[in-house]
Amino acid sequence: MVRLLSITGACACVIALVSCGQSDKAVSNGSPRSSNVSAVAATTDAFHQTLRDNDLARFMSYVDTSAIIAPPGEPVLRGKDNIGKWYKDFLANYRTTSLKLSNKENFVGTDWAVEFGHFDWVLQPTDRSASVLDHGTYMQVWKRQADGSWRFAREVWNSSPEKAAKPTTK
């Protein structure tokens, strides 16, 4: 519980720092910040597509070397190598059949960006057992690189899986 509160507090601080007058809703006039908003949106869209495609190599190409993730119910993973191993193990057990994101909010600063939203993720176990519908909320922090690209730096998400309804035949 203390760890969850610490992570939540840290994420709230990041949002406060990044969004101080720099939310994507406030930037739309072609300024450099506006181009950051477009670049972050394109990057996060491409990143989420790698999850839909079950593509480990492309997924990892978006991950910063010092990234940290906090998967629900698991220890915090630090570093690109540990995240790659975790995702590889995940793909050995599950394949994404659908990933829908909604209620996305983006806060984009000069060197950091935060995306907060809701997800509905349908996963097919590799043992072909019943699909699982996982849904919840997520928060990702993105870091601008020296070359101007954006890399995934932090993520925390919650999870409320349900068995997906099997179609009935009549």
pLDDT tens per residue, range 31-60: 446 788 999 999 999 999 999 999 999 999
Average pLDDT on 138-149 reads 96
**pLDDT, mean over the chain:** 83
CATH topology of domain 2-17+26-163: Nuclear Transport Factor 2; Chain: A, (3.10.450)
Per-residue pLDDT, 1 = 42
Tokens found for residue 127: 């043992």
- Predicted structure pTM score: 0.76
